[in-house]
Amino acid sequence: MDVLSDVIAAMRAGEPRSARVRWHAPWGQRFPAVRGSAGFQVVLQGSCRLIPPDGGVPVTLNVGDVVFLPHGGGYALADSPGTPLTGPACDPLNDSRFEDRYASASVGEVGDGSPQAVTVTLCGGYRLDPGRAHPLLGDLPEIVHLPARLGHHPELRAAVDLLGGELDAPRLGVDTIVPALLDMLLLYILRTWFDEQSERGTATGWAAALADPAIGAALHALHRDPALPWTVETLGGRAGLSRAAFSRRFTALVGRPPLTYLTWWRMTAAARLLRESDAPLGEVAARVGYTSEFAFANAFKREHGTPPGGYRRRSRAEARSGAPA
């Protein structure tokens, strides 16, 4: 898998949820912070204001604008900054109406104002395990605002249109189609953000690492096959750089030396295999680059604080109880 797909697959916990809502002015709703989540809002019709929780300047959202909140922080939406805020009327991550289904819901009408002052939003969220956080998401700001721009990022617009259509008029297969579209939307949001940072020349951290041809090539190589006996020299060869130059550039952009990141990613991949498969420990060890099960167990315990077998048993127990793995 490529880096971005790998990161999302490793962090995801549970199914994403979303809803399509028609708001009638005046209206204002708080969306509380949700630990271990990432949320989004898309304006399909009308306009509104996103109000940060710290009293920051409200952000005007117009038709086609996408807002992504990668760290699960609280915020509010309203037709106007002066409108009083109420508790959740539609919050997929905090609403019992969404507990038994994947994501397909059209909540309908909220507010009792003029039918001429209508805003339609597509809102939703993703469950992410904070214990498996990847620095790629950690680099993102609290609020990612992607304004609609004619002719820019048509794939993001297409994903929004498809998802909005499924939620507005659910048909056969909706419970399979909607989660797949939500996964697509998340990847397109992240891809758009990274692309825009690169185009503006403001990319730093992981945005800069993925945009850098040399470091990007090395990251994709080790993510595609973490079991290979990678060294700084062989990774530098993939990057087309000398050992020393590669190590300096990788560490500066990624925030960790190459082999430190490789070990961390191997342990992250191993944890996912232990949670999601019945593969014997020796097979898990081999798939992440360890010929010795003993050495693998020691490395895993250093990273996760528990041996691989204990981690698997705990993860299975937590999955049965509905607690985060």
Distance spanning both ends of the chain, measured CA to CA: 22
Backbone angles phi, psi at 123, to 5 degrees: -120, 160
pLDDT of 36 strictly over 80: yes
> Do 3-200 and 210-321 come out as alike in CATH topology?
no
- 103 pLDDT band, cuts 50/70/90, is very low
What's the whole-number mean pLDDT along residues 175-180?
A: 88
- If one compares 153 and 285, the residue with the highest pLDDT of the two is 285
Could you give the strand order of the β-sheet that contains 48-51, starting from the edge strand earlier in sequence?
28-31, 75-78, 48-51, 59-61
Pick left, alpha or beta for residue 27 (phi over 0 → left; psi -120 to 50 → alpha; otherwise beta). Answer: beta
- What CATH fold (topology level) applies to the domain 3-200? Jelly Rolls (2.60.120)
What's the whole-number mean pLDDT along residues 128-143?
A: 84
pLDDT cut 90: percent of the chain above it: 50
pLDDT of 16 strictly over 80: yes
Taking a C-beta distance cutoff of 8 angstroms, is the pair 200, 261 a contact?
A: no
Assigned superfamily of 210-321 = Homeodomain-like (1.10.10.60)
**So where are the chain's domains?**
3-200, 210-321
pLDDT cut 70: percent of the chain above it: 89
Determine which helix (DSSP H) or strand (DSSP E) holds 69, and give its type and residue range: strand 66-69
Determine which helix (DSSP H) or strand (DSSP E) holds 41, and give its type and residue range: strand 37-45
% helix / strand / coil in the chain, to the nearest 5?
Answer: 45, 20, 35
pLDDT of 89 strictly over 70: no
Pick left, alpha or beta for residue 255 (phi over 0 → left; psi -120 to 50 → alpha; otherwise beta). Answer: left
- 105 pLDDT band, cuts 50/70/90, is very low
pLDDT digits (tens, 9 = 90+) for 266-289: 999 999 999 889 999 999 999 999
**pLDDT at residue 53, as a whole number:** 81
Sign of the dihedral defined by the CA atoms of residues 273, 259, 222, 220, in that order: positive
pLDDT digits (tens, 9 = 90+) for 207-218: 899 889 999 999
Q: Which two tokens stand for residue 317?
A: 């127990």
